[in-house]
Structure formats: C-alpha cells, structure tokens
Amino acid sequence: MANATTTDHIDIPERDYAAPAVHYLNWQYTASSWLLTLDHKRIAILYLITISIFFMVGGLFATIFRMELLTPEGDLLNADTYNKMFTLHGVVMIFFFLIPSIPAVLGNFLLPLMIGAKDVAFPRLNLFSWYILIIGGTMAVTLTVTGGLDTGWTFYSPLSTHFANTNVFLAALTVFVTGFSSILTGLNFLVTIHKMRAPGLTWFRLPLFIWAIYATSIIQILGTPVVAITILLAGIERVWGVGIFDPYLGGDPVLFQHMFWFYSHPAVYIMILPGMGAISEIIACFSRNRVFGYEFIAFSSVAIAIIGFLVWGHHMYVSGQSMYAGYVFSILTMIVAVPSAIKIFNWTATLYKGNVVWATPMLYAIGFIGLFAIGGATGLFLGILGLDVPLHDTYFVVAHFHYVMVGGMVMAYLAGLHFWWPKMTGKMYPQLPAQVCAVVIFVGFNLTFFPQFLAGWMGMPRRYHSYHPDFQIWNVLSTAGAGVLGVGFTVPVFYFLWSLFYGKTAGSNPWGARGLEWEQCTSPPDPHNFHHTPVVDHIAYPYTGEETLSV
Amino acid sequence: MSSAADTHEHNPHLAHHFETIEQQEEAQSMGMWLFLAQEFMFFGGLFCAYAVWRFTYHDAWFEGSSHLSTFWGGLNTIVLLLSSYTMAMGVYYCQIGDTKRLTNRLIMTLGLGIVFVAVKLQFEWFPKFHDGVVPGQWWGPAGHYADMAAFPEQGHLQLFYFLYYVMTGMHAFHMLIGFGILIPLIVMSAMGKFGPQRFMAILNFGLYWHFVDIVWVFLFPMFYLVT
Amino acid sequence: MSGHHIVMPNTYRQVLIVLMVLMAATIIAAKWEPMNIGITGNLLIALAIAGCKMTCIMLIFMHVKYSSKLVQVFAFCGLFWFAIMMVFTFNDYLTRSWNSPFITPAPVAGGHAAPADHAAPASHATPAPADHSAATAEAAQHS
C-alpha cells in the first residue's frame, strides 16, 4: 500500500512491486460471485468482456461490407444484405459498444476509486444495468439471426415505419431496452459523484475524468428517454399501421428526425466526452505536468453536455426542416466547437515543457488529439449550412464520424485501457508490442478513413453497395486500411490475455501517476477499495514537471 | 466524522458503502429525482409530438376531444388527486411512526389507483374499441361515435386517437408499475417494516406516484378539454 | 431521523382543496362559453392551470419546498430540457412557411418562373403579383 500523500510535498510515490494477497479478482471464485456481484470493479470486468464481444461482432460486419466495396460492382453482397450489414454495424457499434464503452467499463471501475468511495451509490442498480445490456444484446442477436435490419441505425420513417420488410419492431425494442442500461448507469454515476466523494475532495479537486463522466451522465439521463419513446413510437406505428411519423395519415417524418436527433446528437457526446476525460488523465501523467487550465477543461465538459442539446438540427439541413431553423442550428454548431477546441489547446499546452514519456497510453492519447482535431474540424464543415448540402449523405460524413468515433473515442478507450490495465489486473503488458500496435492502429485508421474524405468530397454517396468505378482507388485504399486496422485491434487481445498469466507484476503505481486510485489503492484493488476512507487535501494532478519516469 | 460513523455502526439499514445514514438517504432521494427527470423527458417526447400535431391539426383535435367524456375524465382526475393525497398522508404517518395508518393509506392509494384504471378501461377504452374508434385498419367510428365518420379529416382524427391511446396508455402503464411496487410496500408496511427510521422507500414511491399524477394533470386538459 | 421535514396533514388537506378547485376551474374555463377566448387563449389558460396544479403537487406533496437546493435544481432541470426540445422543434415548425428574403429560385424551363415570395408551400395562397397572370401563379404553386 503506497503512502497516503496528504501534504503538498510532491514526489513520485515509491513503487512497490508486490501484488496484494487478496484482491477483488481472487477473493471469490464461484460463477455466482461474478454474475451476482455488487462490486463495481467486477461489474466493470463484466462490461469489458461484453462490449469486447460486441466490438468484434460490429467489426465483423464492417469487414464484410468493406470487402464488398473493394470492387465497384455489387458482386459479394446483394443490395439487401449490404443494407443489413451496415445497419447492424451501426446499431451494434453505437448502442452496444460506443455508448457503454468508457462510461460502463472504465467509469464503473474508476469512479469510486477516484473519488475515494467504497462503491457506486446503488450497486444493485449497477448490476441490473449490466443485465439490461445483456437482455438488449440477446435481442440484438435474435434480430441478427431472424433476418437483420436494413433501415440504417437511424430508423428513419417512413422507411422504418412503412416500407422495410425486416424486423423493425424487435430492433426498436432492442434500442428501447438497451437505452435503460445507459440511463440507469448515468443516474448511478451522477448520484455517486454528488454524494460519495471522500472528505476534502471538493469539486475542483476532482480528476477531470470525473467531470467528463458527470457531463456524460447528464446527457444519458435527459437524452436517452427521448430516443427510447421515439423509437418505441416508430415501432408501435409500424405494428399499428398508423402514426404521427408516417405521412400516410398526415404525420411528419421530419418530426421523427427531430425527436431522434434530440438524443442522438448529444449521444455522440456520450461517446466522446468520457474519452476526453481519460485523455486528460493520461496527458497529465505522461507529460509529468499539471493539466493546463483545469477549470476550463472541467467546464468545457459541462458546456458540451448542455450546448450539445441545442444543435441536433444540423443533421436535418436537407430533410425539409425550415431553413431558419437551419440557420440557428448552424450557428449553435459553431459554438459547440468552442469547448472542444479549448480542450485540445489545453492538452497541447499541458505537453509544453513537460517530460513527455512515450508509453503506450500516451501514444494513443497523442493519436487521439490529432485524429479528434481532424474529426472535429470536418464536423464544422458539415455544420455549415451551405457546405452540408452537397456533402450530406456522402462518404465525407462517414469519414468525419469515424474520425471522431474511432479516431477519437476508440483511441481514447484503448488509451484508457492501456493506462488502467495494470490497475485493473495487477499485471503489466509488454510495452514494445503494445507501442508498435498503437502505431499500426494509427496508420491503419488513417489509411481506412482518409480516402473516404476524398471519395466523399468527390461525391461518392454513402450506403450503396455499388459505386462508380472512378471511386475504386479510394475504396481499395480504405479496405486495405481496414485490414491493417483489424490486425491492430486484434493484437491487444492477445497481449492483454498473455499479460494476465505471464505479465510482470505491476505494483500499485507503475506510471508514477497521481490520484487516489494510484496512490491509495493496491493493484488490483482490495475488494473494498480502500482500507481507510481517504482524506484529500490537495488539488488534482500535483505533478511538477520535474520527475522523470521510465517504463 | 468519526463520531457519526460510530453512532451508525449499529444501524442495520445502513449499507456498507455509505458512511452515514444521512448520506444514504440523500443519495436515495437524489437518485429518485434523477429517475423522475428521466421519466419527465420520456413523457416529454410524447408531449412534444402532441404539441406539433395539435397546432397543425386543430380541427381534428377539437372533433376528437368533443367525443371524449369530460365526466369520466374529470372523475378520474378527482380519483387520482385523492390518491395523491392519501399517498402524501401515508408519508406523514410513516414519518411519525403510525404504521397502522400508513398501511391504511397505502391500501387506499392502491384502491383509488385501481378505480382509475378500471374506469379508464371500462368506460373509456372498451366502448371505443367496440365502436370502432381504433386508429389503423380497424378504424370505422360507429354507434356512439357514428357522427365522427362524417368528419372530413379522418386521417388526422386517427392521429388524435393514436396519441390518445399511446399517451394515456403509457400513463396507465406507469400506474400498473406503481401497483407492482405498492403491493409489496403494503405487505412490508403491515409487517411493521417502516417507521421514522426507515421511510425512504415510502417517500420515494410517493414521489413516483405524485409524478404519475402530474402527468395526468396535463393529459386531462390536453385530451378532454380541447376548445 | 435525519431531519427530513415533516409536512403537517393540514397542509396536505389545503393543497388537496386547492387542487380540486383548480380542477373545477379548468373544466369551467374550457366548457363554459363566456370563458371561450379563442384557441390559443384557451390552451394557455388550460396549461396555466395545469402548471399551477403541478407546482402545488411538487412543492408540497413532493416536498420540493423543504428539500435541498440540489433536489430543487434536479426537479427543475427536466423542465428546462423539455423546454429546449420544444423551443427548437417549434423553431422549425413555426418558421417553415416563412418566405426567404435571400433566395431567388432559378428560372423554371418553360418560363413559369415564380418570384421568390411565391415559392412557399401551396397552402399559402399569396396573391399573384401584378406582372404575372393568376394562371401563372397557380401553375407555379402546383409545380
């Protein structure tokens, strides 16, 4: 157990290389001790396994349709199958990977540790959320094997309510059920952050990851129910043959888009905000510097959560929405870019004059900054009313979204996983393969998605299984990149599993990082997290920039 | 801090991960309010859709509303407001430790809730089903609703009734969930499990029940009183 | 006992009476002909009365009046987010039929060029401009 650092005196805590004899992973072994656990750390592991499986499934769908796109003709898949592939890719990746990934895995594991609590506020609710995700996942699997879904992940009416021949109602129920997993997780986290902080841990001493999770939880609680009822309504309309979205009886499909994007635009911030929180932790640790402008990063998270609710109409410029609404949404979209930019500038300023250590998490974090900057800036292109009209529904949108979601979110998730893996398992993975793998993912990612910017700029529409032969070169590059990316995503599975059995014992604080989870917890943590309730009397990230670290 | 922890060391209602009973109660109360905020947005989506179509198809809304019974709707409003009152009184008796009256009030709340749903089904939904006031392929107002068939905007009228069924149905569904929680609470209350030291479950259920009441307070003028 | 406020039964009874009175008021406002002040007015009255009932229930029955600031904020935030949804949705619906002062439509092949002011949806029967025959405007509206 490391010393409790309760003074302003700053030094790297002594590294102890011993793993505790009893920790949360080994104190009980039965299946029920895992499946009925109320321990937030074990629930985090359950989530980790679940979403890793969903990530592989979603990736498999992507691999299949990327192979189809290798040639301009629709030769590998017919149009119907292709539609189902990209729809299932979207549904699985968004609802079962991106949304639960950082909040449910890293958030569950770290939130009580970072704020010095024994558990989240409602442990039973926490376990229940996981079971809801499993029920939703089972429904998604049922959906896949009973004919799939071909409406796109957006369920636009009247395609979904009237014309699609696939199992839209089951898909709607799947999203509805899964949404409650997200809502209850957010609720749990918000109460935990408000009520469970250790003595002395005031709001401005909180790690920035907690601020990000807080902002995420606001969106989860206030946005998700709207999409739940919207998609349920679309499902009921389909069964009932009447409805408010279907124009058949006087309904308005644009209303569906309003209600859908009211959640689904803020939902992209559910996906990216916790990633930004993880990046703040990692950048501070591996540049051995205090985070530059702590308050700005903290409040920019909350600002994104709130302003993010005011911009949804930028998905609907060409849908028949009033152009005046378009103007307003376009201006607000420019404004929501400001807090994101503040974060990027502050991370960069944190690196300045720091002792940057190129450990694996830092490689991912640096990659995140670059890729997220590209993804965010192209988002502004698309937020501009005039420019969106030609770019709408082209591969430019696809590339932008994947730069933010894969280049941003998945990189941040991998960064976080590599950063906290020693804490979660008590084992260190081998650095060199992991560093090489980070570079491979970065290269593979850019090879996959940068050509899509070009193809989209030239006018290649999305969601078609065949395309004009002029676009073939970009698609060949993209598919090649997807292969590299696939390898990059597979290798970590092996070295992580390897490290569980053969990895070096990490010790409680292998990175010399600051924060309660590193300084006052063993690796892996005790079943009850802390032996004594920690008391905090200093700011977050008291790095001096003087220390050096070798990994 | 330590003295507070010591005094609550023996409190059997304090979960292991909380330091004090105050912290636990505040967390539970806050969790319930956040859940209600979530519920509010859930119904909020429906209210938003309702608002759009009410402004767009006012004539159909007026026509549809004029065929809903203000009597049964008003009666149900009274029933629900009364059940909210009995629930609030239940919280009071729980806080002062009068378990017998608490059980009593919970049973009255449940009874009034059942009256509400029964009236809704027996005097509102079933007669409409019988007379063909069902949006979609079975649409064909007849009997008591026959003069509705002459209304020119049949599609818009169906939208009104679609929203009527979905919104009151979603409300009634929340009442059914309430029954499902209320029955165990009554049993536990009769066993004397609640009192001044342990009332969060009653308090939080009360919040839920009042929320359901508030939803109806809006649904009533929105559907029964369109003029 | 954690100092949770106990509201007296008399207060609950008074609230119940207020709620019943408001219930009667909303029916009278809607059904009594002299109270009929037009579509928007009636709706505003109905919503105002419902809002009063909601406030009574929340403040007293749900103890918001006696709760911490935090609970009061949470009780309010649902309302705030709902307002966001309504404001921006209606920002679309209420401005859809406006005519754009900025856009002049390209001439339609065949010479049926409609001025910008008349490119609005067909439901807006704007009078034909002086230099166009009524028939041209009609054709433009149906095109």
- The confidence score (pLDDT) of residue A364 equals 97
Give dist(CA A172, CA A68) in Å, integer.
27
Domain match, C64 and C118 both: no
Please indicate whether, in this complex, the C-beta atoms of A225 and B31 are within 8 angstroms of each other.
no
The pLDDT of residue A501 is above 90:
yes
The pLDDT of residue C131 is above 70:
no
Over residues A273-319, the pLDDT tens digits come to 999 999 999 999 999 989 999 999 999 999 999 999 999 999 999 99
C59 assigned to some structural domain: yes
Give dist(CA A129, CA A111) in Å, integer.
16
At residue A461, what are phi and psi to the nearest 5 degrees? -75, 155
- The confidence score (pLDDT) of residue C50 equals 95
C102 assigned to some structural domain: no
Please indicate whether, in this complex, the C-beta atoms of A225 and B42 are within 8 angstroms of each other.
yes
The pLDDT of residue C135 is above 70:
no
Over residues A181-217, the pLDDT tens digits come to 999 999 999 999 999 999 999 999 999 999 999 999 9
C106 assigned to some structural domain: no
Domain match, C64 and C129 both: no
Nearest CB neighbour to A226, from listed B30, B41, B56: B41
Of A545 and A70, more confident:
A70
- The confidence score (pLDDT) of residue C123 equals 40
SS3 helix, strand, coil % of chain C, rounded to 5? 60, 0, 40
- The confidence score (pLDDT) of residue C122 equals 39
Question: Residue A531: how many CB atoms within 10 A of its CB?
Answer: 11
Nearest CB neighbour to A187, from listed B31, B155, B158: B31
Q: Which chains touch A (3 or more CB pairs under 8 A)?
A: B, C
| Residue C32, domain extent | 1-70
Residues of chain B with pLDDT > 90: what percent?
74
Residues B14-41 have a mean pLDDT of 91
- The confidence score (pLDDT) of residue C121 equals 41
- The confidence score (pLDDT) of residue B43 equals 96
Q: Which chains touch B (3 or more CB pairs under 8 A)?
A: A, C
C89 assigned to some structural domain: no
The pLDDT of residue C133 is above 50:
no
The contacts of residue A372 (CB under 8 Å, 6+ apart) are A272, A340, A344, A403, A404, A407, A408
Give dist(CA A53, CA A43) in Å, integer.
16
Taking each helix axis from N to C end, the angle separating B99-119 and B200-219, rounded to the nearest 10 degrees, works out to 30
Tokens (6 digits) for B152: 């020119």
Scanning C73-112 for CB atoms below 8 A from A yields 77-78, 81, 84-85, 88-89, 91-96, 98, 100
Q: How far is CA B171 from CA B75, B163, B211, B213, in A?
A: 16, 12, 10, 9
Q: How far is CA A43 from the centre of its chain?
A: 18
- The confidence score (pLDDT) of residue B136 equals 84
Task: Name the DSSP class of B120.
Answer: I
Structural domains in chain A, sorted by start: 38-519 (1.20.210.10)
Structural domains in chain B, sorted by start: 22-224 (1.20.120.80)
Domain match, C59 and C120 both: no
C83 assigned to some structural domain: no
Residues A48-68 have a mean pLDDT of 95
The pLDDT of residue A170 is above 60:
yes
Last residue of a domain, one of C70, C94, C123: C70
Q: Are A158 and A74 in contact (CB under 8 A)?
A: no
Confidence of residue C75 (pLDDT cuts 50, 70, 90): confident
Least confident of A116-120, B147-151, B211-215: B147-151
Task: Name the DSSP class of A520.
Answer: S
R_g (Cα) of chain C, nearest Å:
26
**Vertex C20: Cα angle to C17 and C26 (nearest 5):** 140
What is the ipTM, given to two decimal places?
Answer: 0.91
Range of A54-58, A145-149, A544-548 with top mean pLDDT: A54-58
Mean of all residue pLDDT scores within chain A: 92
Mean of all residue pLDDT scores within chain B: 91
C97 assigned to some structural domain: no
- The confidence score (pLDDT) of residue A1 equals 34
Of A549 and A138, more confident:
A138
Of A116 and C121, more confident:
A116
Over residues A376-403, the pLDDT tens digits come to 999 999 999 999 999 999 999 999 999 9
Domains contained in chain C, number: 2
C130 assigned to some structural domain: yes
Give dist(CA A56, CA B160) in Å, integer.
45
Over residues B58-117, the pLDDT tens digits come to 999 999 999 999 999 999 999 999 999 999 999 999 999 999 999 999 999 999 999 999
Burial B73-104 (b: 16+ CB within 10 A, else e): bbebbebbbbbbbbbbbbbbbbbeebbeebbb
Q: How far is CA A277 from CA A103, A213, A352, A423, in A?
A: 10, 7, 19, 17
Q: CB of B142 within 8 Å of any CB in chain C?
A: no
Nearest CB neighbour to B88, from listed C4, C12, C70: C12
- The confidence score (pLDDT) of residue A550 equals 58
Q: Look at residue A72 and give its three-state secondary structure.
A: coil
Give dist(CA A371, CA A367) in Å, integer.
6
Please indicate whether, in this complex, the C-beta atoms of A328 and C81 are within 8 angstroms of each other.
no
CA proximity to A177, closest of A137, A142, A124: A137
Closest Cα of chain A to C41: distance in Å?
Answer: 25
Strands A427-428 and A504-505: antiparallel
Q: Are B215 and B77 in contact (CB under 8 A)?
A: no
Confidence of residue C108 (pLDDT cuts 50, 70, 90): low
Please indicate whether, in this complex, the C-beta atoms of C78 and A312 are within 8 angstroms of each other.
no
Give dist(CA A140, CA A145) in Å, integer.
9
Q: Partners of A461 in the beta sheet?
A: A394
Burial A50-82 (b: 16+ CB within 10 A, else e): bbbebbebbbebbbbbbebbebeebeebeeebb
Residues B28-56 have a mean pLDDT of 94
Residue whose token pair is 């935030």: C77
Nearest CB neighbour to B96, from listed C6, C71, C85: C6
The pLDDT of residue A145 is above 70:
yes
The contacts of residue A459 (CB under 8 Å, 6+ apart) are A390, A394
The pLDDT of residue C142 is above 60:
no
Residues of chain B with pLDDT > 70: what percent?
96
Over residues B124-139, the pLDDT tens digits come to 999 999 999 998 888 8
Of B3 and A137, more confident:
A137
Over residues A448-459, the pLDDT tens digits come to 999 999 999 999
Over residues A416-439, the pLDDT tens digits come to 999 999 999 999 999 999 999 999
Chain C residues with CB under 8 Å of A266 CB are none
C84 assigned to some structural domain: no
The pLDDT of residue C137 is above 50:
no
Confidence of residue B19 (pLDDT cuts 50, 70, 90): confident
Give dist(CA A511, CA A385) in Å, integer.
46
Best of A324, A331, A385, A389 to disrupt the C interface (most C CBs within 10 Å) is: A324
